[in-house]
Amino acid sequence: MALALAGDMAADMAAAGQPAAVDACVDLAVRGLTKRFGTRPVLRGVDLAVPRGQAVALIGSNGAGKSTLLRCCLRLIEPDGGEATLLGESVQGLGRGGLRRLRSRIGFVFQRHNLVGRLSALSNVLHGAQARHAGPRYWLQSLAPAAARDEAMHCLDRVGLAELAPLRADRLSGGQSQRVAIARALMQRPAMVVADEPVASLDPAAGEEVMAVFVRLIREEGATLVFTSHNLEHALAHADRVVALKDGAIVLDRPAAELTPRDLGFVYG
Amino acid sequence: MTDLSNLRPAAGRFLPARLERPSPLAFLAWAVTLAVLVHAFTAVGLSPMRLIEGLPNIGRILGQMVPPDLTRLPQIGLAILETFQMALVGTVIGVTLSLPLAILATRTLSPHPTVQVAARAVVSFCRTVPDLVWALLFVIAVGLGPVAGTLAIAVDCIGFCGRFFAEAMEETDPGPREALSALGARPLGIVFSAVVPQAMPSFIATALFALEKATRSSVVLGLVGAGGIGIELKVAMDLFAYDLAATIILAVFALVILVEQVGSRLRARII
C-alpha cells in the first residue's frame, strides 16, 4: 500500500514533467493530508512527493501549515486524515516500536536547537546514536564506547566545532548550538533529514553560515532533505525544488532554478 | 518622573479602584476563615495569663541547665553520630527509591495515566503519614534501634523527594525531550538523556533539603525508641537532669546547623 502510494505519486510527478520525479524511489509521499486545530483547518488535503536525494524547501507565511506538515509526517502531531509514507513505510499504520524505528532513520533539526544545556556538546551529539543503540552507554559521553565517542567527535569536527566538544551546551552561541544540533542529526546516519526553520533563531550572518554547512553536509551524506524557511534566498540557493503553502494548501511546486524571489512574493501577500 | 498632566480626561475612566469589592462568595470565604481561626484560638486555650504563670518554671529549668553537664560528652557524641548516620542512610535510600517513583508519577514521562495516578498515590501516602508514625510501625516490625529510625526516614524521604522530583521533571524544557523522541530514542533514554540532566540541580537541592529535614527528624524519632540521640534526651528530661539535657540540645543544635550550612554551600555551588 505504502509503496503503491509512493509509486503513484512518482508517476504523477513524472507526468508533471518534474525532473527528479523520474526516479521512482520516493522518500516522502503525502496524499490528502488534513489537520485541524480546533475549528481552524491547518492542512487541507496536501499532496507531496519527494524523491530520494532531493532537497525541498517548504515556504509560506506563519500559520500556512509548513511545520504542521513536517510534524504530521513524523507523527509528532497526529494528522486528522490522509496518508504519509516515509522511506517506503506508511506512517499511519505504525505502532510505537515501528514509529521509533522509522524516526531513527530520519534526522529532525528544529528551529530551536533543543540541546540539553547542562551536558557537553559531545554528549549532545552522542545522543544521536540513540537512534541505533539503546542503553546507558549512549546517555553520556563519559559512559560511551570508544567507537561512538570517536564518531561523535567526527560529527562535531564536520560542523567545525571539535575544539568545543567538552563545553556545556548552554555556554555555546546560537549558531554554535545549531551546529551541534546538526552534528547530532549526522550522528543518526539518517537516510532523510527534515528541518523546521533551522536558522530562524539566528542572526542573518550566522544563519547564512549555518545553512550553508547544513545543506553541504546533508548533500555529502546523500540524504533527502526537506526544510521550511521564511528566507527566500535560502530556499532558492539551497533547494532543488520549492514548494509553497498558503492556508494549508500547496499553491506552488517548481524547481528552484526556474524561480526568482519575485516569483515567490505572492506567497506572503 | 512621569508627567501626568497630559493624561486624557477620558483615560481616567480606566483607572482601577484601589480595592476591589469582593464577590459574595469571596466575602463568605473570608467570614468562614475568620470564624475557623477564632474557634481554633479558643479551642487550644491559649491565653497570656497561662504564659505569664509559666515563665517562672521556664526560668527555673533554664537556671538548672547552666552550666551544661559535660560528663557524658563521649556517649552523647556517639549518639549524635548515630543520629546523623540514620539521617544520611535513610536519605540515600529514600532518594534512590523516590527517583523511579517520581518518573512514573510525572505526567509527561509516565507510561500510562493509571500508573501515574498509582505512583502519585504511593508518594502522597508516604508524605501524609508523619515520620513518627512510620517510626512506631517500624519499631514494631524490626524492633528498637536505628534500623527502625532509618527506615522511617527513608519512607518519609520518598514522600518528600518523590513529589519534588516529579515537579522538577515536569518543569523541564520539553525541547530536548521532543528532539530525542523525534530521532527514535527509547523512553528510558529520553528520561536519562534529556530530562534527568535538566532536573539534576533541583534533585540535588531537594536531596540536601531532605537530609536537613531527616537530621531534625532523627532526633525526634529516638523518643519512640527508633535509635539516635532522642532517647538520651528523653531519659535526661525524665530524670530532671536538665544540665545533661542542655548538653544534648546544644549537640543537636550544632549538628543541625552544621548540616544546614554544608547543605546551603553545596546548593549554592551546584545551582
**Minimum distance, in Å, between the CA of residue A252 and any CA atom of chain B:** 28
Whether the per-residue pLDDT at A17 is higher than 70: the answer is no
Strands (E), B101-189: none
Q: Are residues B42 and B151 in the same domain?
A: no
Q: Which residues of B16-31 are buried (b: 16+ CB within 10 A; e: fewer)?
A: eeeeeeeeeeeeeeee
Domain termination site, one of B40, B64, B88: B64
- Local structure of residue A65 (DSSP, 8 states): S
Q: Is B184 on the interface with A (CB under 8 A)?
A: yes
Interface contact A118-B198, CB threshold 8 A: yes
B83 falls within a domain: yes
The pTM assigned to this predicted structure is: 0.80
Q: CB–CB of A19/A39 below 8 Å? A: no
B261 φ, ψ (degrees, to nearest 5): -65, -45
Per the domain annotation, does B156 fall within a domain? yes
Tell whether A139 is within 8 A of chain B (Cβ): yes
B179, B185, B197 ranked by CB distance to A119: nearest: B197
| B110 assigned to some structural domain | yes
Does the beta-carbon distance from A101 to B182 stay under 8 Å?
Answer: no
- Closest partner residue to B197 among A74, A112, A116, by Cβ? A116
Taking the C-alpha atoms of residue A192 and residue B123, their distance in angstroms, rounded to an integer, is 44
Question: Cα B39 from chain centroid?
Answer: 28
Scanning every residue of chain B, which has its alpha carbon at the shortest distance from the alpha carbon of A170?
Answer: B198
A105, A116, A131 ranked by CB distance to B185: nearest: A131
User: How far, in Å, CA of A134 to CA of A183, rounded?
Assistant: 19
> Could you say which of A115, A138, A181 has the minimum Cβ distance to residue B189?
A138
The reply to whether B70 falls in a domain is no
Q: Which residues pair with A43 in a beta bridge?
A: A35
Q: Quick check: B228 and B79 in contact, CB under 8 A? A: yes
Asked if B143 and B168 sit in the same domain, the reply is yes
pLDDT of A18 > 50? The answer is no
For the cut 80, the answer to whether the pLDDT of residue A8 exceeds it is: no
What's the CA dihedral at B216, B218, B219, B220 to 10 degrees? 100
User: Which residues on chain A are in Cβ contact (under 8 Å) with B189?
Assistant: 127, 130, 134-135, 138-139
Identity of the residue numbered B140: I
Read off the CATH number of the domain in which B89 is found: 1.10.3720.10
For residue B246, tell me if it sits in a domain. yes
* Domain co-membership, B208 together with B102: yes
Least CA distance to A98: which residue of chain B? B184
**Structural domain range at position B51:** 21-64
In a shared domain, residues B101 and B30? no
What pLDDT, on the 0 to 100 scale, is given for residue B225?
81
Does A130 contact B194 at a Cβ distance shorter than 8 Å?
no
Task: Tell me, yes or no, whether B50 and B88 share the same domain.
Answer: no
User: How far apart (Å, rounded) are the C-alpha atoms in residues B126 and B28?
Assistant: 35
Residue A22 confidence (pLDDT) above 50: no
CA-to-CA distance for A256 and A93, rounded, in angstroms? 33
Establish, for the pair of chains A and B, how many residue pairs have beta carbons separated by less than 8 Å.
81
A247: left (phi over 0), alpha (psi -120 to 50) or beta: left
Are the beta carbons of A229 and A57 closer than 8 angstroms?
Answer: yes
Using a CB–CB cutoff of 8 Å, tell me whether A76 touches chain B: yes
pLDDT tens, residue by residue, B224-235: 888 888 888 988
In angstroms, what separates the C-alpha of A105 from chain B's closest C-alpha? 7
Among candidates A141, A103, A109, which has minimal Cα distance to A125? A141
**Closest CB to B193 among A104, A112, A116:** A116
Q: Max Cα separation, chain B? A: 81
Question: Residues B196, B115: contact at Cβ < 8 Å?
Answer: no
A110/B189 touch (CB, cutoff 8 Å), yes or no: no
Say if residue B88 is in the same domain as residue B152.
yes
Residue A188: closest C-alpha in chain B: B183
Calpha distance A199→A179 (Å, rounded): 10
Residue B15 lies in a domain: no
Which residue, chain included where needed, has cell 546547623? B257
Distance of CA A113 to the CA centre of its chain: 13
For residues B154 and B196, membership in a common domain is answered with yes
The residue from B12, B35, B64 where one domain ends is B64
A118–B200 CB contact, under 8 Å: yes
Question: Per residue in B6-43, pLDDT tens?
Answer: 667 777 777 888 888 888 999 999 999 999 999 998 89
Short-list B260, B251, B257, B261, CA closest to B81: B251
pLDDT tens track for A207-260:
888 888 888 888 888 899 999 998 888 899 999 999 999 999 999 999 999 988
Last residue of some domain: B6, B30, B64? B64
What pLDDT is attached to residue B249? 92
Do residues B65 and B253 touch, judged by C-beta distance below 8 A?
Answer: no
Tell me which of A14 and A29 has the higher pLDDT.
Answer: A29
Any chain A CB within 8 A of the CB of B176?
yes
Residue B100 is predicted with a pLDDT of 96
**Other C-beta atoms lying within 10 Å of the C-beta of residue B132:** 16
In a domain, residue B201? The reply is yes
Note whether B81 and B226 are within 8 A (CB). Answer: no
Out of B173, B183, B185, name the one closest to residue A107 (CB): B183
Q: Are residues B153 and B41 in the same domain?
A: no
Q: Is A134 on the interface with B (CB under 8 A)?
A: yes
What's the average model confidence in pLDDT over A87-105? 90
Q: Kindly determine whether residue A128 and residue B181, on different chains, have CB atoms separated by under 8 Å.
A: no
Across the interface, do A114 and B175 touch by the CB < 8 Å criterion? Answer: yes
Q: Which band of pLDDT confidence, cut at 50, 70 and 90, is reported for residue B135?
A: very high
- Same structural domain, B232 and B173: yes
Q: Look at residue A81 and give its three-state secondary structure.
A: strand
The tens digit of pLDDT for each residue in B64-103 reads 888 988 888 899 999 999 999 999 999 999 999 999 999 9
Q: State how far the Cα of A242 lies from the Cα of A235, in Å rounded to an integer.
A: 7
Q: What integer pLDDT is reported at residue A176 of this predicted model?
A: 92
Out of A104, A110, A114, closest to residue B184 by CB = A104
DSSP B195-221: IHHHHHHHHHHHHHHHHHHHHHHHHHH
**Cβ of residue B192 closer than 8 Å to a chain A Cβ:** yes
**Which of B193, B198, B203 to mutate: most A Cβ within 10 Å?**
B193
Instruction: Convert the pLDDT of each residue in B246-260 to its tens digit.
Output: 999 999 999 999 999
A114·B179 Cβ contact <8 A:
yes
Q: Point out the residue among B173, B184, B197 whose CB comes nearest to the CB of A101.
A: B184
Do B48 and B151 fall into the same domain? no
* Mean pLDDT score, A179-193: 92
Residues B169 and B261 placed together within one structural domain of the fold: yes
Contact A116 B183 (CB under 8 A): no
Residues from chain B contacting residue A188 (CB–CB below 8 Å):
183
> For residue A49, which amino acid is it?
A
Question: How far is B182 from A100, CA to CA, in rounded Å?
Answer: 8
d(CA A109, nearest CA chain B) in Å: 8
Average pLDDT (B190-206) is 94
* Number of domains forming the structure of chain B: 2
Residue A130 has its nearest CB partner, among B175, B185, B198, at: B185
- Give the pLDDT confidence score for residue B3 in this predicted structure: 62
Pairwise CB contact (< 8 Å): A103 & B194: no
pLDDT band per the 50, 70, 90 thresholds, residue A123: very high
Over 90: is that where the pLDDT of A9 sits? Answer: no
pLDDT score for A1: 44
Does B183 touch chain A if contact means CB atoms closer than 8 Å? yes
Find how far residue A39's CA is from the centre of its chain.
28
Q: What Rg, from alpha-carbon coordinates, does chain A have?
A: 18
Domain assignment present for B14: no
| CB contact set of B105 (below 8 Å; sequence gap of 6+) | B116, B119, B120, B123, B162, B163, B166
Count of CB atoms within 10 A of residue B88's CB? 17
B29 and B159 assigned to the same domain: no
